[in-house]
Amino acid sequence: AQTVTQSQPEMSVQEAETVTLSCTYDTSESDYYLFWYKQPPSRQMILVIRQEAYKQQNATENRFSVNFQKAAKSFSLKISDSQLGDAAMYFCAYMRGSQGNLIFGKGTKLSVKP
């Protein structure tokens, strides 16, 4: 069975600084997708970034980028120039290509200090 592990329950970063959130996963599949979702206090799940397993190039979305290490089954999220609005729970998620349902990690609570 696939599993997703986020080893950092809480992280803190100074405004304008850079922070990296860790995520590892376990799977025997070759076709899958990885996601980072943000959940602010409103509890709305917001897609931050996605990565297809077959793509070697790391995905980027403005200030957000990932370090995808397929062999190591690692998928970390880097947030550059952190802003107060980045404070939220961040969930790493795995999706098997043919199945569609998401398997979530336990989340990392990110605090941003002014």
Partner 1 sequence: GAVVSQHPSWVICKSGTSVKIECRSLDFQATTMFWYRQFPKQSLMLMATSNEGSKATYEQGVEKDKFLINHASLTLSTLTVTSAHPEDSSFYICSARDWTGGEETQYFGPGTRLLVL
Q: Is 50 in the site for partner 1 (CB under 8 A)?
A: yes
Q: Is 11 in the site for partner 1 (CB under 8 A)?
A: no
Q: Is 3 or 83 the residue whose CB approaches partner 1 more closely?
A: 3
Least distance from C-beta 85 to partner 1, angstroms?
17
Q: Is 28 or 43 the residue whose CB approaches partner 1 more closely?
A: 43
Q: Is 106 in the site for partner 1 (CB under 8 A)?
A: yes
DSSP letter for each residue of the chain: --EEE---SEEEEETTS-EEE--EEE-S-SSEEEEEEEE-TT---EEEEEEETT--SPPEETTEEEEEETTTTEEEEEE-S--GGG-EEEEEEEEETTT--EEE---EEEEEE-
